[in-house]
Structure 1
Amino acid sequence: MTDRPDLPLRIAVPELGFLLCDRALRILPARRWTLAGTLEPAQRPVVAKLFLAGRQARRHFERERRGLEGLHRRGMAAPDVLYAGTLDELGGWLILTAWLPGASADTLGEAALPAVLRAVASHHAAGIEQRDAHLANFLVRSGIAWTLDGAGIRISGHPLPARRALRNLAAWLAQFPPAVDARLNEWCAVYGAIAGAIPRQELQCLLDRARRQREARHIDKALRSCTAFDARRTLRRLQVLDRRDDAPDLRAWLLAPDAPFENLQADWLKRGNSASVVRADLDGRLRVIKRYNLKNLAHRLRRLWRPSRAWHSWRNAQRLALWGLPTPRPVALLEHRFGWLRGRAWYVCEWVAGESLAQVLPAADPPRRDLLLDRLCGLLADLARLRLTHGDLKATNLLVDQDNQLMLLDLDALRRHRRRVTFERALARDLARLRANWADDAELLAALDAALTAAGLAR
């Protein structure tokens, strides 16, 4: 048994024929494979969940089977189970379900929220709690959210208690970007029409907590080996890379991280004492490599005990990516270490073509200026909903791409605030730093102040 399937994969299914799997939907190495394929000779599209041989495989198989059966018994929309049993050919167990055409809720985003809320409300009213709150567990088809995962289902004989239902609803809403909070009254009404009225303020508090918990789990995951990331820690180094970018040139760079900076033809973006930045072609894709320098012995000693700025940049880029907030996609993190002591560090992200807001905004015509200010305030409002502040919000740290979308750069000072008073002070410092970019342009500064006030970010 290998960690990953060798596709296409042909498997004999008792009494049904053969299963030909040609696409992986989700892979948990050596644990569970979720594959798309066709059941022959009927030529029926199916989804196969293979629970691989091991101590926990049988238990996970039984949980999935019982969960799907429970959904059907209570009239919930769930795919039909075509086969559930042992799989002697590969070892382990197989659950085969009908393929449902539609779109995953995590790709539809906010457009899927009403259907997901109706499904969650129906679950709660029927005494069903889906503990694995993940949008990929729902498929939206003709306005109906079908529940795909039975493993996380817990079923009782009566509707969920109000507090428990509210916590589970908050866990589902936390899967969506914070912008959905602006319509929270509407979402409460959608849910309440099926499962009963809910207190909005209490839901908001639980939602904020669920987001913090989800964010902490995601950042922790981004620093260890899993399906999405490859992390390696030794006495002398820490390296993490996004598996989507794993390729020979990137692996070679990890062994010689200073090579792009020593190249006589290096494409320099910044030469600084504290940080050096170059653009490099790694495996045919342009990347930005940022090296955080140690300026002298005193600086080196101060940084020994503290997480590197590259570490903070990686964590914060993952934080923003989780919530759909725009920043160049993080690719790799590298730290030189000696045990727990930190040395030099590098951060790699994708290259995004564009110009800084400092260049674009003063030269923009009125319609484009209004569009950019509106998007700037929208970005700042999304950060504010999460109590995030940038820490160095100068206009050169805001990139305007070819579609007039704004992206946040230089994330090592970005932080989340638990207390409102500290957040409001940090936000005021961010806005003051932003306004200072155009202190000599009274007209532009007035337009910025008006936009900030209209967005509720300034008084």
Structure 2
Amino acid sequence: METGYIKNMLHNAEEISWHTLYHADRNISAPFHLSLSDTDKHFVAEKVIRIIPGKRLVAYGMFGNQPVVAKLFYERRKASRHALRDTLGVDALISSSVPTPKLIYKGTAKQQRIQILIFERILNANTLEEIWQKKSDSEEITPLLHAIILELATQHVLGILQRDLHFKNFLIANNKIYTLDGSDIKKLHDRLSKKESLDHLALFFSQLGVGHELLRESLLTTYINARGWNLQYSEIHFLNQAYAKHQKKRWERFQKKITRSCSTYFCKNSANDLVIFNREYQSNSLIEFFQHPDAIFQSSQTEILKDGRSSTVVKTHFDHHSFVVKRYNIKNIWHWLRRRFRPTRAAKSWRLSHYLYLMGIATAKPIALIEKKFWGLSQHSYFLMEHVPGIHIGEYFSLYDKNNPAFSEIAKKIIELFKHLASIGLSHNDLKMTNILISHHKPIIIDLDGMREHRSPTSAMKRMKKDIVRFMRNWENNQSVHQLFENIIGETSWKT
């Protein structure tokens, strides 16, 4: 029996049709409801959380009086197949006693063309992805990661393979780990082989990003102890190769995602302009900025951070958020002709800032890319990023006190940052003071359009050593800070 609250929601929510779902692209808003073919209960959608246009939708809502998560499948001729694949994956988890949200309804809408799976909603829960992104330090969630590694080892012994393993597929609530997304589950006839297991483990490790070598070693020890293994050198070599392979594949997939419309990003590419932005920040004022980006540079409420020939940088506000806009200027006709067939500097900043984000290297969060075109060729380009509160390292170390260990810790983190960049094949090429900010006790690298991409970490490391020579010139008038960095560089065996 449905309560008055549910009846009121039903009254306010229109019933959605297959035609509306199939042709709506991403323009589906809640609330809406579905009448089901073999029950008097309705599914009432309260919030759409994911859409793959023309194929499927995931939404929070109510089923009777119960909070649920529903998956709607509506692709032509394939909806039943995809719903069945998801159901079989859930059945495999349940038969192996792997915790997963309970499937409480499977069937069709009364219109028949919509397949629907309804799961209990685990309240007060977070995915591993959410926990990992919100952490202040990896040590605080190390116990959780070890617990998940033990869960993964158990699944491998049971012959459970998550084909598209990622952090969003683990849900944590009340110290319990749930595995999500039956569509990615494959049940093997026997336990995973050592090679399959190590490859899958490498996929998990690749999502930790760079700078977590000790953590990976610790998690590997937990895993091999759980499996009762001793690894040979050749097997460790295979694991490292698989790790590099999965890192590369993750970036290749992510690179495509940030240049097209998807759940996270909106993209419009026409003869007149290119606009890509993070949907999380969508607002009327942001849309107005996309239409007339130069107007922001004339606003009395805009703070000019840099006004140079090659670029103009300002700080501004949209809907209670602080942003920095960098406009890349065209110096003259010859400058435009030289760059006309190359990716814009804004596009390079957009791509590399996402690369750093994916690899766990701190930089200003990318929000939008804009390119204004003439006859299909780029003219001005703009890069919108989240404002990073903090001060640059020149200001920070002007207060240097050798008796305060915080300065030494920050200096070590800066040198680690350089090594992390080199480990993913990048060198910055402009390590002046203002391009490294200190925010929330950690260094943030900015101004990425001059970065160099190298064929290998080895060549990047060679170039980064030259960058460090430039970096050390920042401290020519502050010998105590210069000596601090010299000592740290010497301790890391990365001498210039």
In the alignment, the residues of structure 2 paired with residue 67 and residue 456 of structure 1 have an alpha-carbon distance, to the nearest angstrom, of 49
CA contact 1:229–1:240 (8 Å) conserved in 2: yes
More moved, 299-308 vs 123-132: 123-132
Is residue 376 from structure 1 mapped to residue 376 from structure 2 by the alignment?
no
Report the CA distance shift for 1:25/1:230 in structure 2 as closer, same or farther (over 3 A): closer
Is residue 426 from structure 1 mapped to residue 463 from structure 2 by the alignment?
yes
The Cα shift of 1:20 comes to 3.6
Report SS of the residue matched to 1:337: strand
Task: Please tell me the residue identity of whatever aligns with 1:443.
Answer: S
One of 55, 59, 73 as aligned partner of 1:35: 59
Counterpart mapping for 1:68-87 below 5 A: 68-87=90-109
In the alignment, the residues of structure 2 paired with residue 433 and residue 372 of structure 1 have an alpha-carbon distance, to the nearest angstrom, of 19
One of 122, 126, 136 as aligned partner of 1:103: 126
Counterpart mapping for 1:223-238 below 5 A: 223-238=259-274
CA contact 1:398–1:408 (8 Å) conserved in 2: yes
Residues 168-219 of structure 1, C-alpha deviation per residue, up to 9 Å, x if partnerless? 2211221222233222222112222334535333212211221121112112
CA contact 2:315–2:387 (8 Å) conserved in 1: yes
One of 160, 173, 177 as aligned partner of 2:192: 160
One of 401, 404, 427 as aligned partner of 2:441: 404
Counterpart mapping for 1:291-306 below 5 A: 291-306=327-342
Counterpart mapping for 1:227-266 below 5 A: 227-263=263-299, 266=302
One of 416, 419, 428 as aligned partner of 1:390: 428
The Cα shift of 1:397 comes to 0.2
The gaps in structure 2 that reach 5 residues or longer are 1-19, 133-137
Task: Please tell me the residue identity of whatever aligns with 1:193.
Answer: N
Is residue 288 from structure 1 mapped to residue 324 from structure 2 by the alignment?
yes
Counterpart mapping for 1:216-365 below 5 A: 216-263=252-299, 266-338=302-374, 341-365=377-401
- Tell me the C-alpha RMSD between the 2 structures: 2.4
TM-score, normalising length from structure 2? 0.85
The Cα shift of 1:90 comes to 8.2
Task: Please tell me the residue identity of whatever aligns with 1:234.
Answer: S
CA contact 1:381–1:455 (8 Å) conserved in 2: no
In the alignment, the residues of structure 1 paired with residue 471 and residue 40 of structure 2 have an alpha-carbon distance, to the nearest angstrom, of 65
One of 116, 122, 136 as aligned partner of 1:94: 116
Match of 2:9 in 1: none
Report SS of the residue matched to 1:55: coil
* Same amino acid, percent of matched pairs: 27
Report the CA distance shift for 1:119/1:284 in structure 2 as closer, same or farther (over 3 A): same
Match of 1:44 in 2: 66
In the alignment, the residues of structure 2 paired with residue 89 and residue 324 of structure 1 have an alpha-carbon distance, to the nearest angstrom, of 46
In the alignment, the residues of structure 2 paired with residue 133 and residue 445 of structure 1 have an alpha-carbon distance, to the nearest angstrom, of 45
In the alignment, the residues of structure 2 paired with residue 162 and residue 308 of structure 1 have an alpha-carbon distance, to the nearest angstrom, of 46
In the alignment, the residues of structure 1 paired with residue 56 and residue 462 of structure 2 have an alpha-carbon distance, to the nearest angstrom, of 47
Is residue 130 from structure 1 mapped to residue 162 from structure 2 by the alignment?
yes
Task: Please tell me the residue identity of whatever aligns with 1:27.
Answer: I
The Cα shift of 1:30 comes to 4.0
In the alignment, the residues of structure 2 paired with residue 388 and residue 88 of structure 1 have an alpha-carbon distance, to the nearest angstrom, of 55
Report SS of the residue matched to 2:280: helix
In the alignment, the residues of structure 2 paired with residue 148 and residue 296 of structure 1 have an alpha-carbon distance, to the nearest angstrom, of 55
Match of 1:8 in 2: 31
Residues 333-366 of structure 1, C-alpha deviation per residue, up to 9 Å, x if partnerless? 1113356643221111122232211122122333
In the alignment, the residues of structure 2 paired with residue 46 and residue 230 of structure 1 have an alpha-carbon distance, to the nearest angstrom, of 28
Report the CA distance shift for 1:217/1:457 in structure 2 as closer, same or farther (over 3 A): farther
CA contact 2:419–2:461 (8 Å) conserved in 1: no
In the alignment, the residues of structure 2 paired with residue 314 and residue 365 of structure 1 have an alpha-carbon distance, to the nearest angstrom, of 37
TM-score, normalising length from structure 1? 0.91
Is residue 55 from structure 1 mapped to residue 77 from structure 2 by the alignment?
yes
The Cα shift of 1:157 comes to 0.7
In the alignment, the residues of structure 2 paired with residue 201 and residue 24 of structure 1 have an alpha-carbon distance, to the nearest angstrom, of 44
Report SS of the residue matched to 2:182: coil
The gaps in structure 1 that reach 5 residues or longer are none
- Between Structure 1 and Structure 2, how many residues are aligned? 456
CA contact 2:87–2:182 (8 Å) conserved in 1: yes
CA contact 2:301–2:316 (8 Å) conserved in 1: no
Residues 133-188 of structure 1, C-alpha deviation per residue, up to 9 Å, x if partnerless? 22111113455432111101222212223333322221122122223322222211
In the alignment, the residues of structure 1 paired with residue 359 and residue 457 of structure 2 have an alpha-carbon distance, to the nearest angstrom, of 20
In the alignment, the residues of structure 2 paired with residue 96 and residue 266 of structure 1 have an alpha-carbon distance, to the nearest angstrom, of 48
Report the CA distance shift for 1:58/1:187 in structure 2 as closer, same or farther (over 3 A): same
CA contact 1:33–1:50 (8 Å) conserved in 2: yes
Residues 204-262 of structure 1, C-alpha deviation per residue, up to 9 Å, x if partnerless? 22112211211121122111111111111112322111111222222222222222234
Report the CA distance shift for 1:100/1:335 in structure 2 as closer, same or farther (over 3 A): same
Residues 300-328 of structure 1, C-alpha deviation per residue, up to 9 Å, x if partnerless? 11111211111110111111222332222
Report SS of the residue matched to 2:347: helix
CA contact 1:51–1:93 (8 Å) conserved in 2: yes
CA contact 2:35–2:41 (8 Å) conserved in 1: yes
In the alignment, the residues of structure 2 paired with residue 433 and residue 196 of structure 1 have an alpha-carbon distance, to the nearest angstrom, of 50
Task: Please tell me the residue identity of whatever aligns with 2:435.
Answer: N
Match of 2:491 in 1: 454
Report the CA distance shift for 1:125/1:339 in structure 2 as closer, same or farther (over 3 A): farther
Task: Please tell me the residue identity of whatever aligns with 1:22.
Answer: E
CA contact 1:53–1:93 (8 Å) conserved in 2: no
Report the CA distance shift for 1:88/1:429 in structure 2 as closer, same or farther (over 3 A): farther
Report the CA distance shift for 1:264/1:185 in structure 2 as closer, same or farther (over 3 A): closer
Task: Please tell me the residue identity of whatever aligns with 2:409.
Answer: L
In the alignment, the residues of structure 1 paired with residue 80 and residue 470 of structure 2 have an alpha-carbon distance, to the nearest angstrom, of 57
